[in-house]
Amino acid sequence: MSGGVDVKVFAEAAERGDGFPSLIEPVSRLESLPIPTLALCHGVCLTAAFEIALACDLIWAGESARFGLVEKVVGLTPGAGGTQRLAARAGVGRASELVMSGETYDAATLREWGVVNRVVPDAELEREGMAFARELAAGPTLAHAATKRILRAFREGGVGAADEITPGEFSGLFASEDLRGAVRSFLEDGPGKATFRGR
């Protein structure tokens, strides 16, 4: 639960008149991690907190969660890339509405828009979300990293750009210990019993 940036820091920057440091870099670094990232959101998730969630691969929300990019109330537009990341998930029209209206939206609406992946009961969010995070962490992290690179190529250049890199990403995994071990495990023990080490 977070309302985002403390508005007092904006007041100080406005008084100085020298702008504000870029918030894009830390969000981009989060987005570029080679491992799956999952945001678990409950309560209010506004401004920079929502922008951080949007940089994650997956967003789960408690039923009572509310989301918004409400920077307009202080005469700003989102500064950490929330506008474009929201547009990538929900489309330009929905991103325009959410940012320009300054309203907050419930988790069910953002699930319908494709922004939130899952909505779970508030009391179960942490337990279910952390169980899923452990499952992701124990999975084929090299394959997950390849998936992230393919999706990044898609976001930046469409299906054609993703198609260009997919053969190399796919074929490159055959050199990994993880793939060789998982194929062997599948043939000897059946599906779903492999262990992965990220090598």
Q: Which residues are catalytic?
A: 51, 71
Q: What is the DSSP string of 1-64?
A: -B--S-HHHHHHHHHHTS----SHHHHHHHHH-SS--EEEE-SEEEHHHHHHHHTSSEEEEETT
**DSSP state letters, 99-126:** HHH---EEHHHHHHTTS-SEEE-GGGHH
Distance, CA of 182 to CA of 73 (rounded, Å):
52
Q: Find the distance separating the first CA and the last CA of the chain, reported in whole Å.
A: 36
